[in-house]
Chain A
Amino acid sequence: MTVDKLVESISNKSDRIGRTVNLMEVCGTHTMAAFRSGIRTRLPEQVRLLSGPGCPVCVTSDNYIDHAIELAMTENTIITTFGDMMRVPGSRGSLSLAKARGKDIRVIYSPQQALVAARKNPGREVIFLGVGFETTTPLVAWTIQNAYSRKMPNYSVLCAHKTIMPAMRALCDSDDVRVDGFLCPGHVSVITGAEIYKPLCREYHAPCVIAGFEPEDILLSIDMLLNQIISGEASVEIQYTRSVTAAGNKLAQKCVNDVFKPCDASWRGMGVIPSSGLSVRSSYKEYDAELKFPRIRVSEVKRDTGCRCGDVLRAVITPSECGLFKKECTPDNPIGPCMVSSEGTCAAYYRYSRIDE
């Protein structure tokens, strides 16, 4: 179907539904893609896209950033991280500032590069900041397996990996979040498979469509969600069939299960969600930076900045409803992580928001 036909179809279905429909893009990449491609400007007003908690940087707590900076200050360490993490403010500044002050913090493009850094610097400890959902976790697990089999003594991961399903479930359980359907994350689903969303459909009657990242993918997925809403159904459909299967990538799942085990995790704005995080199994404990540097303990610092990233992440408010948005909080001076990450909702609203707003 052409873009114009899809837009027309969505518009007709929205008229048939006759009320505002809230669809959540769980994944930050969908949020950015929807803004970049101008999809939002083509949707009828009654179809609202809400951004969810699927930006890994945004849901990472201040405490984790503080911990990473403390490790960077430790003698003889090299911190390796994806670029998104660099500018996220913790309670005592960001990794970017620590780097500018001379700490050895390196932006890498794949976890494999962290292993290479460890091999090239045998006298120093290379710590990778393990942040991200099911998409990145298998690769990080692979680095740990690899370091283990090569008996590398100087590599470890500061682990804050999370899994998306418990967060989606927490959103469904929340009284102040109203979502009529989920655009489920494509990259995550390549690994997990489609089956994992079934409980959401069954228990919460939440329509789910796993969407690809091309603009047409997103439009078609929205159309598919509206079909489900009109028919009163709630099932898991795969729009992103070119990459996602029902069972997912078994090899990657096995690798993750071998290295990590579920644990409770703290999500920015959502608090502690049981079994939503991953920690390094004891069989690989020498690669867990938290255990390797037991003296580095960071206490939780409560910052009262007025930042409402937590409410944005739960789609309780849109960024423009936060009192700091475009005033104190801008991409040049981000107060919260949603303004920092390239996939953050606030950054997307700031950069690409509707020109008629």
Chain B
Amino acid sequence: MNKKIITSAHGGGGTATKEIIDIVREYLGNPVLDQLGDSALLNLGSTEIAFTTDSYVIDPIVFPGGDIGKIAVCGTVNDIAMEGAKPLYMSLSLILEEGLEFELLERVIASVSSAARKADVLVVTGDTKVVEHGRAGGGLFINTAAVGRRYEGCNTSVSNAAPGDLVVVTGTIGDHGVTIINEREELDLESDLQSDVAPLNTLVDELLTSVPGIKSLRDPTRGGLAAALCDIAGASKAGIEIEEDKIKVKREVKAACDLLGFDPLNIANEGKAVIVCSEDSAQKVLEICSDNEFGRESVLIGRVVSEHPETVVLRTRMGGKRIVDMPRGENLPRIC
């Protein structure tokens, strides 16, 4: 009865998820896996390949701004892009539940097609399984994997940030997470809020082929901006200082977070990147981002510092300071 078991907190992408990763590393650890990047980096002769896989169990399957098909392509493409690689080929595995309507399946596959075209990747292999009714929550789970070719001479590891570097975020934060909560829980928040789910590889392509000073890239998905910055600070053994009044949060996202007791910094995004770059390249980064459809609202939010290594500190609107901690478990709504 008292054996330790998996709870929903282990799916939150924060410290509880790390407990699972620790077991995997204990048994399967190797120099490639131990890098713990968004993708594995593989040396195949003269070519460096990025390889990643991800599963999508999102509820609801269709939401404002996207659906499980779009997110299954974008999430995986972005994992390849964040490692400084150009996504080329993808796999698509479908786990379907008895009772799923063909119309919904077709809608999702059409969405996969549209997103893959936008990201310029080919779906080249796949698999289909059907499970008994009740075994796949909303009726459809998707697993995708992808490979991509790394840009020559590029290294965008989260361990590269150094004091003096600047931190850019490519737009508003928390849009995806709040959209999903609003839909799933039928909160009836009156808003036009949409998920930001988007493929970021064209933006990364422009950045990596035009700016030499890109140090680290990370997409702030589960665990939000806080988790991405904590990852970078931890891996780079540097401090990061960010400015609250620079971080863009939509009014609806802020209102929902206030209501539910969530911190926008911890809310998931599916179409944003955190870019750490050298000070002299920051202007160019911002120019390229603001010319790209997925980076128009990019903004400089802070810098890497030598103080408080491995810790992210927020300078608040009030002129105070506080620690930005790695999120723990899932976001749970408070009582009042």
Contacts and interface: CB of A to CB of B under 8 A. Distances in A.
A357 B317 CA distance: 21
A99 B319 CA distance: 42
Contacts of A37: 316-318, 320, 322
A100 B317 contact: no
A80 to B, nearest CB: 12
Interface stretch (A83-91, A220-228, A239-247): A83-91
A132 B336 contact: yes
A109 B333 contact: yes
Contacts, number: 120
Given A42-B318, A97-B5, A332-B15, A83 B336 contact: no
Contact of B321 (A4, A41, A96, A101): A41
B44 interface: no
Contacts of A86: 332
Contacts of A352: 322-323, 325
Contacts of A96: 7-9
A107 B333 contact: yes
Nearest to A110: B187
A37 B8 CA distance: 29
Contact of B320 (A40, A84, A135): A40
A331 interface: yes
B334 interface: yes
Contact of A36 (B9, B187, B322, B332): B322
Contacts of A343: 261, 334-335
Contacts of A351: 323, 325
A12 B8 CA distance: 49
Contacts of B263: 36
B5 A42 contact: no
B190 interface: no
B185 A84 contact: no
Contacts of B320: 37-42
Interface in A56-112: 56-57, 82-87, 93, 96-97, 99-101, 107-109
Interface string A344-357: 00000011111100
B332 A41 contact: no
Interface residues of A, number: 52
Given A41-B320, A355-B323, A133 B185 contact: no
Contact of B317 (A107, A215, A331, A354): A215
Interface string A98-141: 01110000011100010000000000000000011101100000
B328 interface: yes
B251 to A, nearest CB: 14
A111 B336 CA distance: 11
B261 A332 contact: no
B308 A84 contact: no
Which of B15, B308, B320, B335 counts the most A-chain CB atoms under 10 A from its CB?
A: B335
Contacts of B317: 3, 37, 215
Contacts of A131: 335
Interface string B4-45: 011111000001100000000000000000000000000000
Contacts of B8: 96, 99-100
Interface in B286-336: 308, 311, 313-323, 325, 328-329, 331-336
Contacts of A332: 15-16, 328-329
Nearest to A82: B335
B260 interface: yes
Given A4-B319, A37-B318, A38-B314, A187 B336 contact: yes
A192 to B, nearest CB: 13
B226 to A, nearest CB: 10
A109 B187 contact: yes
Interface of B: 2, 5-9, 15-16, 185-187, 258, 260-261, 263, 308, 311, 313-323, 325, 328-329, 331-336
Given A352-B322, A355-B308, 9 more contacts: A3-B318, A37-B322, A38-B315, A42-B319, A83-B332, A96-B7, A131-B335, A187-B336, A342-B332
Interface of A: 3-4, 7, 29, 32, 35-42, 56-57, 82-87, 93, 96-97, 99-101, 107-109, 113, 131-133, 135-136, 187, 213, 215-216, 219, 331-332, 341-343, 350-355
Closest 6 CB pairs of A and B: A38-B320, A83-B332, A38-B316, A41-B320, A135-B336, A83-B333
